[in-house]
């Protein structure tokens, strides 16, 4: 019998340090943050207090979640490091930031964001492909924000650069709570599996 997975379940969130052009992006970030707290989960994210980063962190805190931020020294002032977190780790490089966040994660989810958000998502997706972890990956596709990206990823499969099973590792949803349900279920299946080999 497999031991129960450690609690609290920790969701690693990648998202923009700006609010974006639509109010729906911030609303989705707040809904996701509240849902983390309502589930008794923990949040780890990039440590900023502005943009969607601040929205998801504030909502999670208000809902009772423990929130951990990890921010590089060079971005602390630019992103206005959040001063109300349970933990705020200031690290010297982006590499250490991403590593520290990933080490704490039970699952990953990307909200709308820019190139930094995409870089973080693609890195942990690549790590999953290479077998460095088996945590589920989610994409919150608010109002079709990522539709063009998803079409491109389907093309990478069609053109022979990505296996369909690797493409399927990315769980996509438009509603925050439903996406978290799917990630939770996927994490439970991964914990119960005995055929996973780390490299």
- C-beta separation of 36 from 43 below 8 A: yes
Could you tell me if residue 169 is inside a domain?
yes
Tokens 């999670």 sit at which residue? 60
What is the per-residue pLDDT for 10? 98
> What number is the average pLDDT over the span 64-87?
90
Say if residue 65's pLDDT is above 50.
yes
Between 7 and 33, name the one with better pLDDT: 33
Could you tell me if residue 127 is inside a domain?
yes
Residue 156: give the domain boundaries: 10-189
Could you tell me if residue 135 is inside a domain?
yes
pLDDT tens-digit map of 149-184: 999 999 999 999 999 999 999 999 999 999 999 999
Secondary structure class of 70 (helix, strand, coil): strand
φ, ψ for residue 166, nearest 5 deg: -75, -35
Cross-sheet strand order for the sheet of 137-140: 87-91, 66-72, 42-45, 10-14, 107-110, 137-140, 170-173
What is the per-residue pLDDT for 78? 75
Could you tell me if residue 185 is inside a domain?
yes
What is the per-residue pLDDT for 44? 98
Could you tell me if residue 137 is inside a domain?
yes
pLDDT tens-digit map of 104-148: 999 999 999 999 999 999 999 999 999 999 999 999 999 999 999
What is the per-residue pLDDT for 80? 79
Could you tell me if residue 198 is inside a domain?
no
Could you tell me if residue 5 is inside a domain?
no
Q: Name the average pLDDT for the chain.
A: 92
Which H or E element spans position 47? Answer: none
> What number is the average pLDDT over the span 24-47?
98
What CATH number does the domain containing 182 carry? 3.40.50.450
Q: How far is CA 131 from CA 27, 35, 192, in A?
A: 34, 29, 17
- C-beta separation of 42 from 8 below 8 A: yes
Say if residue 64's pLDDT is above 90.
yes
Could you tell me if residue 63 is inside a domain?
yes
Domain count of the chain? 1
Tokens 């690549």 sit at which residue? 126
* pTM > 0.85: yes
Say if residue 13's pLDDT is above 90.
yes
């Amino acid at each position: 019998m497999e031991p129960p997975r450690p609690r609290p379940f920790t969701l690693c969130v990648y998202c923009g340090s700006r609010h974006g052009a639509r109010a729906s992006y911030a609303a989705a970030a707040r809904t996701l943050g509240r849902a983390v707290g309502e589930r008794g989960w923990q949040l780890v994210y990039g440590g900023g207090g502005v943009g969607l980063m601040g929205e998801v962190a504030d909502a999670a805190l208000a809902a009772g979640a423990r929130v951990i931020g990890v921010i590089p020294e060079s971005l602390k002032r630019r992103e206005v490091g959040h001063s109300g977190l349970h933990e705020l780790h200031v690290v010297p490089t982006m590499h250490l930031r991403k590593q520290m966040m990933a080490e704490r994660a039970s699952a990953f989810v990307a909200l709308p964001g820019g190139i930094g958000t995409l870089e973080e998502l693609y890195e942990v997706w690549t790590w999953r492909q290479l077998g460095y972890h088996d945590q589920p990956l989610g994409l919150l596709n608010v109002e079709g924000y990522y539709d063009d990206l998803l079409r491109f990823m389907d093309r990478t499969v069609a053109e022979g650069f990505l296996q369909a099973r690797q493409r399927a590792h990315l769980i996509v949803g438009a509603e925050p709570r439903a996406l978290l349900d799917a990630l939770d279920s996927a994490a439970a299946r991964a914990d119960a599996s005995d055929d996973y080999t780390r490299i």
